[in-house]
Amino acid sequence: MRALIEAVRPALGALVTDRSFAKVVGVAEQLPRELSKSYGFEYRFGGEGVDFLFSVNDAERSHAILSPSVGGAPAWAPVLALFDAWQRAPLQGAIRNIWLELDTSAAPAAAPSVFIRPVAHGIGAGARAAFGHLVESTRSILSARARTNALPRILDALPPGAIVPQVGFMLARETTAFRLCAQLPGPEIPAALARLGWSGSPAALAEVLSELLPHAGTTVLLSLDVDGSVGDRVGVELYGQEGKMEAAAFIALFDRLVARGLCRDDERAAILAWHGRSDEVRRGINHVKIVFEPRGAVAAKAYLAFFPRAARSA
């Protein structure tokens, strides 16, 4: 894995200091390269480091590959337990893939955050019970401290047609919240947050989105931390125009981020330059997340994807 991570270091440019990149290598080098075909970095604008992410799609294969590398680490025991349970009912056939995020600011032995993508992500009456059971089963297997009792009320507040393509558990954090990502039309997000009793200002959020949404693709996700109620911090994920991951699909959006002071000019240039390919990897911009912080602050993050070319074509 170390060689793969170092292969993309030049493309990150000045976004990441050498000291911060060394932390990425430190958390990633314990993992075998063949574990995944899809990797990514999370970059917070104004920062100097990135967190490391990767996806797994095959429970049996992932368990067999990962276990020799991290099987003796207590922090990874819940993840291996989840991979094991994923091979049997009720999780077998219910999870499409799992993303794992390694926080480079945490201790080297910290547990990853776990994000599951359900096969059935609808929240209508017929699908809701199965979705709730999947969330609770995953929480139990991971021994997560998350409290999921508010899930029915959260789903009730989402508009008809909304789906929930991802649910996350931040195992390394001292929290009883879980992450719920709902896909819905961007203009409907402020009203949904108002119905949820969000402590922030839906009107202020609507003003920001009214400027950004016309320059993004149609896919929009609302990211909520749920702990009995919706947390103070919410995120809105914006994807490239026409769902593309190339720089051209994000230029107009980044222009607006710079204009609002959410991104510097040099950061904009570096993120757009990320898109490309080399002999080792293909790189693309996955999405941008606008984070609405407590007391009205707004921040932004970029998610940068890369795919080993040999693995991608296999």
Question: What is the CB neighbour count within 10 angstroms for residue 299?
Answer: 17
Contacts of 184 (CB under 8 A, 6+ apart): 158, 159, 161, 162, 163, 192, 220, 222
CB distance 167 to 222 below 8 Å: no
Nearest to 170 by CA among 232, 79, 236, 62: 79
Q: What is the mean pLDDT of residues 78-83?
A: 96
- Please give the structure tokens belonging to residue 165: 């393509």
pLDDT band with cut points at 50, 70 and 90 for residue 108: low
- Please give the structure tokens belonging to residue 89: 């009912």
List % helix, strand, coil for the chain (3-state, nearest 5). 45, 25, 30
Buried b vs exposed e over 162-181: b needs ≥16 C-beta within 10 Å? bbbebbbbbbbeebebbbbb
Within a 13 Å sphere around the CA of 176, how many CA atoms are in the beta-carbon half? 7
Give tens-digit pLDDT for 13-56. Answer: 999 999 999 999 988 888 998 999 999 999 999 998 899 999 99
Nearest to 42 by CA among 115, 96, 145: 115
Distance from C-alpha of 212 to C-alpha of 215, rounded to nearest angstrom = 6
- Chain CA centroid to CA 275, Å: 19
Would you state the pLDDT for residue 310?
67
Within 251-313, strands assigned E span 276-277, 281-292, 298-308
Contacts of 153 (CB under 8 A, 6+ apart): none
pLDDT band with cut points at 50, 70 and 90 for residue 309: confident
* Run of H or E including 29: none
**Has residue 109 got a pLDDT over 90?**
no
Burial environment of residue 217 by CB neighbours within 10 A (0 to 12, 13 to 18, 19 or more) = middle
pLDDT band with cut points at 50, 70 and 90 for residue 225: very high
**Has residue 293 got a pLDDT over 50?**
yes
Q: What percent of the chain has pLDDT over 90?
A: 82
Nearest to 103 by CA among 50, 139, 56: 50
Would you state the pLDDT for residue 248?
97
CB distance 229 to 180 below 8 Å: no
Q: What is the mean pLDDT of residues 57-84?
A: 92
Average pLDDT, the chain: 93
pLDDT band with cut points at 50, 70 and 90 for residue 105: confident
pLDDT band with cut points at 50, 70 and 90 for residue 122: confident
**Has residue 126 got a pLDDT over 90?**
no
